[in-house]
Amino acid sequence: MFGSGAVGGGAARAVGDGTAFTQPTLDSLGTPLSEVTFCVVDLETTGLAADACGITEIGAVKVKGGEVLGEFGTLVNPGESIDPRVTRLTGITDAMVADAPGIESVLPAFLEFARGATLVAHNAGFDIGFLRHACELTDTRWPRPPVIDTVVLARRLTEKSEVPNRRLGTLARLFGSPVTPNHRALDDARATVTVLHGLIERAGGHGVVTDAELVEFCRAIPSELQRRKRHLADGLPHSPGVYIFRDADDRALYIGVSVDVAARVRSYFSAAEQRRRLRDMLASAERVEVIECAHRLEAGVAELRLISGGKPPYNRAAKFPEHRSWVRLTDEPYPRLQVSRKPPEPGAPRLGPTSGTTAQAAIGAIEAALPIRSCRTRLSVSRLSPSCVLGEIGKCAEPCRHTVTVEEYAAIAERAARAMDGDPAPVAEAVAERLAELSEAERFEAAAERRDELGAYLALAAASHRVRDLVAAGEIVGAGRAKGGGWEVAVIRYGLLAGAVKTPPRADPMPYIARLRATARAVDPVPDAADAAHAAETRLLLEWLARPDVRIVMTEHPWASRLDGAERWDGTVPHDPSPWRRDKGERLPHTGTL
């Protein structure tokens, strides 16, 4: 047992080699958890990327010794529209945040509320990432508080036998939270408080009694392999680009992208990298190749092309665009809709590319609305074929029995083509009527199936039309604000990135744009995406063009959505099928000189 001098004052004693050993004081071991003030925070946002989305709600609960000291909750005006999918998840609408304060006034109040506390969040990287980015946007100093992630704690302190996953709702049920998480910030923060207390109680069984020990308990130790391979990150540039881990035979193992390549590659050799797949990759990695890019958009496109072209074994997403599916009409006297991995000829009616499941669901919606045949029999114009029940109940025109001529059936196929490339209203209205009939008959499972098919069809049609509209616009020059000043410029030709440049701060960007257009890659004109890789790149460019800070400098041909196109429902099941305008020219008004 130590004497009072050793415990309270850090007294020195001699060790065998004559050097002094200083006994740690209680202060150096951390603060007892019962005396630590925790600020449990949760955010709701317009999307997942902190550098491209805004905060819509902040909720926080400050606790100490198991007692609530105070709560903080407010909606935040993000300065941008909220994605309808996010609204369906959180219930937060544009109207709800229209009169809410902006982050520039909410952030100082929250930081004052949390001052001196240890921040706690469920999946803390997400919430802290948004808060740090908000500090950058408002020129506010980030106070660098200690951070505890309840997801990390739960992985250390719960077993798969008691919880199937570490989602907040699952853990809240496990620890008996009186508040059910509902994707609203303050309620989720309250639920996280219960989870935190339950996890701290379990951590005590591992000898964790102070805040310093809790932080250390959360911190995984880098493997010996990671420490040994750390030199691979030496000398890499702090700039946007693509990084490629290569093995001794110079084969690409893994391809990634970052706005700061050096920082991102270093993270693979830290305690934060716990993915077994990537640790296995590091065992074979011998060097890291970097392709520097003008800005993050060019880097993202380069990554997409390299992954689909090289098929690195440790990448998963975007590796096999050729495995994506299309909805197309067969080439025969009595065409039918089919799911195919072979892209239709440019300009031919099509939906996609997408997953095979979504493609089949979209076909189900069209077949429910039109008497087009669904059988796979190759029908003859000279002899009859066996019929099926769909013809008997009037759901098929029965070309198998020659009840329609080739010309009459061609009119049905033309309606199916228009359902893919034109106005989806006939399909949407027909399926909506069927939904009403099924609901009235209380056939709710069948109604849900039809609803899902219609939703898949409308979402796929909207995505396909957006791709086609951008490709058909020919050349488009866009420019987005760059951090630190200047512009990130992209020349897009027929849905492909043809050139990119970042202009210097305070410089006139137009001469740089003129030079870029003159030297950008030539792209052959096409009316639609040639294949799935082309469509994937076009969709990436569409996401960039939709950012609120991106200006359209010029377009070769008009770029707008049709008034009768699928985008008027924006991929949602229509409750009121009346059309509404979605004009990109109105949404992106900044054109011409920058």
Pairing, β 147-149 against β 475-481: unpaired
CB atoms closer than 10 angstroms to residue 337:
27
Say which of 122, 133, 183, 231 is annotated catalytic: 183
Q: Are strands 147-149 and 118-121 parallel, antiparallel or unpaired?
A: parallel
121 closest CA partner among 200, 191, 32: 191
What are the phi and psi torsion angles at 147 (to 5°)? -130, 135
Q: 111-144: b or e for each residue (b if 16 or more CB lie within 10 Å)? A: bebbeebbbbbbbbebbbbbbebbbeeeebeeee
3-state secondary structure of 526: coil
Distance, in Å, from the CA atom of 501 to the CA atom of 523, rounded to the nearest integer, reads: 18
Is 183 among the catalytic positions?
yes
Enter the tokens of residue 287. Answer: 């060097």
The answer to whether residues 488 and 295 touch, using CB atoms and an 8 Å cutoff, is yes
Tallying the residues shown for the chain, one arrives at 594
Positive or negative torsion for Cα 38, 44, 47, 50? negative
Instruction: Dig out the tokens for 268 from the structure.
Output: 């693979």
CA-to-CA distance for 25 and 7, rounded, in angstroms? 6
CB 168 within 8 A of CB 127: no
Where do we find the tokens 């004109």?
525
Identify the bridge partners of residue 288 per DSSP, sorted by sequence position. Answer: 245
Of 417, 408, 288, 506, nearest to 398 by C-alpha is 408
Tokens of 518: 């003159």
What residues have CB less than 8 Å from 516, skipping those under 6 apart?
489, 491, 499, 500, 501
- How distant, in Å, are the alpha carbons of 187, 307, 490 from that of 496? 44, 16, 10
Instruction: Give Cα 223 to chain centroid, integer Å.
Output: 30
Which residues touch 279 (CB under 8 Å, ≥6 apart)? 223, 225, 226, 273
Helices (H) and strands (E) in the chain, counts: 21, 17
Diameter over CA atoms, the chain: 106
User: CA-based angle 417:421:425, to the nearest 5?
Assistant: 90
Q: Cα 447–451–452 angle (5° rounding)? A: 120
Instruction: State the Cα–Cα distance between residues 366 and 571, nearest whole angstrom.
Output: 15
What 3-state DSSP class applies to 478? strand
Q: Are 129 and 119 in contact (CB under 8 A)?
A: no
Residue corresponding to tokens 């008996």: 176
Interacting residues of 558 by C-beta distance below 8 A, sequence separation 6+: 473, 585
Q: Decide the pairing of beta strands 37-45 and 118-121.
A: parallel
CB-based contact 218:121 (threshold 8 Å): no
Q: How far apart, in whole angstroms, are the C-alpha atoms of residue 121 and residue 131?
A: 12
Which residues have a catalytic role annotated? 183
